[in-house]
A = this chain, B = another copy of it.
Amino acid sequence: MKEFFKVTDLNKVFEYTSLFPCVKTEEVSLSEMTGRVLADDIVSDIDLPAFSRSTMDGYAVRGSSTFGATEGNPAYLAVKGSVAMGESPDFTISTGEAAKISTGGMLPEGSDSIVMIEHTEVLDDTTIEVYRSVAPGQHVVEAGEDIKKGEIILSSGRKLRPQETGLLAAIGKETIKVFKKPIIGIISTGDEVVPVDEIPGPGQIRDINTYTLSGQVQEAGCIPLTFGIVRDDYDALYSKCAEALSQSDMVLISGGSSVGVRDYTIEVLSNLPDSSILVHGISISPGKPTILAKTQNKAFWGLPGHVTSAMVVFKTVVHPFIKHIAGMTLQNTKKWWLSALLSRNISSAQGRVDYVRVRLFEKEDVLWAEPILGKSGLINTMVKADGLIEVGINTEGLDKGSKVEVIPL
């Protein structure tokens, strides 16, 4: 028996993440902010809101003026005026007085709460009846209640959702420093691989990995840069790898499914300037023949040629490295996954982590994960799959009904 390579444990592979530096930063405007990763802590230089605002349509009052008011025993208040939106009221409110106000309006001095319009009745131009009491502070957002001046409101390394973008808009940050989107170079190899626009001859197949990996790179918030197909030839591979490396923050080379190309890939990755092989084989399935080199401070991955294996390795192994170089801090890479119950027994070899494709279905209010049958090389199985489940390295398998976490595909 031959041992082709010494496999590395997955946990050990993840320890290499920190060897790679984050990408550089750039300033982007608010309209391009969502999905980007903050490169600075953001401190608010204002209180938000800057003034006490009404959260309802109604009347600004002193809460004490309404105490005890009911439908049977209303409070009668004198209407002092009306608050115009976007303006500072030029009057004050005393006990027994009220001012008409809309949602978002600025509370007049002296008022501390809002009576909802539904709980009032207009008697005449200057008098209203109030049917409910309000507590001071009710239906009001106080100045500084949302955000306080000087507060760190968002930390570096945070991936921005629409609400974080909104928060930046609220404090007037027109542009923000974020990490650049990592550029991920993608190379396909193999003498059997032809471009999509060619009709494959006998023994040939079309290049699929360029497209699946590009799609995964896009989904990860990065920019794919494709370098086409390289023949199984040392010089061609060397120059293509060097080219991809010079233009990318990380490179994925897939294929080299034949032993020859795998050897070439290792040789090229060893011979490129300032390059060392960190991993040559990982104790996972699919994906065992995965290679990781550190080349000029960049991660250079040799992925399996099988489309399904390459996709699984991207999802489970490469993606955490991408998050790291994209500047995301650990707390931001935390993801909650769906839990489901396994619909049938699955077996697994000890000594490796297995990733099993599953389809999800709901039955009697329970979410089930059904392992997908069929040979693992079929792209079909990825199309049918909703996610992957992990079968741990020290496990011989999982029983039907086991609780599993589903990595979404």
Chain A contact residues, CB within 8 Å of chain B: 1-2, 4, 30-31, 33-35, 48-51, 53, 55, 57, 83-89, 102-106, 117-119, 131, 141, 145-147, 153-154, 161-174, 190-194, 196-197, 199-216, 218-219, 224, 226, 232, 257-260, 305-307, 311, 336-339, 360, 362, 367, 375-380, 382-383, 385-386, 409
Q: Which of B34, B89, B260, B339 contacts A219 (CB 8 A)?
A: B34
Residue in B closest to A119 when the chains form the complex, CB atoms: B1
Bound CA span A232–B104, Å: 14
Query: Given A212-B163, A232-B85, A383-B164, are A34 and B218 also a contact pair (CB < 8 Å)?
Result: yes
Query: Given A30-B211, A167-B383, A338-B336, are A102 and B259 also a contact pair (CB < 8 Å)?
Result: yes
Bound CA span A147–B35, Å: 36
Bound CA span A339–B385, Å: 20
Q: Which residues of B contact A339 (CB under 8 A)?
A: 338-339, 367
Bound CA span A141–B307, Å: 13
In the complex, the answer to whether A105 meets B258 with C-beta atoms within 8 Å is: yes
Residue in B closest to A197 when the chains form the complex, CB atoms: B174
11 contacts across the A-B interface (CB closer than 8 A): A55-B376, A55-B377, A86-B192, A87-B203, A117-B259, A163-B311, A165-B212, A166-B311, A169-B207, A170-B307, A172-B196
In the complex, the answer to whether B162 meets A219 with C-beta atoms within 8 Å is: yes
In the complex, the answer to whether A379 meets B146 with C-beta atoms within 8 Å is: yes
In the complex, the answer to whether A203 meets B386 with C-beta atoms within 8 Å is: no
Residue in B closest to A2 when the chains form the complex, CB atoms: B118
Q: Which of B131, B203, B367, B375 contacts A85 (CB 8 A)?
A: B203
Bound CA span A106–B202, Å: 8
In the complex, the answer to whether A141 meets B377 with C-beta atoms within 8 Å is: yes
Query: Given A85-B191, A166-B211, are A172 and B147 also a contact pair (CB < 8 Å)?
Result: no
Top 10 closest pairs, chain A to chain B, by CB? A162-B215, A34-B215, A86-B192, A88-B202, A102-B258, A166-B212, A106-B203, A163-B382, A103-B257, A85-B191
| Minimum C-beta distance from A38 to chain B (A) | 12
In the complex, the answer to whether A383 meets B163 with C-beta atoms within 8 Å is: yes
Bound CA span A118–B206, Å: 28
| Minimum C-beta distance from A74 to chain B (A) | 12
Q: Which residues of B contact A378 (CB under 8 A)?
A: 141, 145-146
In the complex, the answer to whether A31 meets B232 with C-beta atoms within 8 Å is: no
Query: Given A34-B219, A118-B2, A174-B196, are A86 and B204 also a contact pair (CB < 8 Å)?
Result: yes
Query: Could you say which of A161, A164, A259 has the most chain B C-beta atoms within 10 Å of its C-beta?
Result: A161
Q: Which residues of B contact A174 (CB under 8 A)?
A: 196-197
Q: A86-B204, A88-B201, A147-B380 are in contact. List 17 more A-B contacts (CB 8 A).
A: A34-B215, A35-B219, A48-B379, A85-B192, A85-B258, A105-B192, A117-B259, A154-B383, A162-B214, A165-B211, A166-B208, A166-B211, A169-B207, A169-B208, A172-B206, A336-B362, A339-B367
Q: Which residues of B contact A209 (CB under 8 A)?
A: 166
Q: Which residues of B contact A219 (CB under 8 A)?
A: 34-35, 161-162
In the complex, the answer to whether A51 meets B258 with C-beta atoms within 8 Å is: no
Residue in B closest to A71 when the chains form the complex, CB atoms: B1
Bound CA span A48–B147, Å: 58
Q: Which residues of B contact A338 (CB under 8 A)?
A: 336-339
| Minimum C-beta distance from A359 to chain B (A) | 11
Bound CA span A197–B175, Å: 10
Residue in B closest to A101 when the chains form the complex, CB atoms: B258
Q: Which residues of B contact A164 (CB under 8 A)?
A: 383
Bound CA span A380–B168, Å: 11
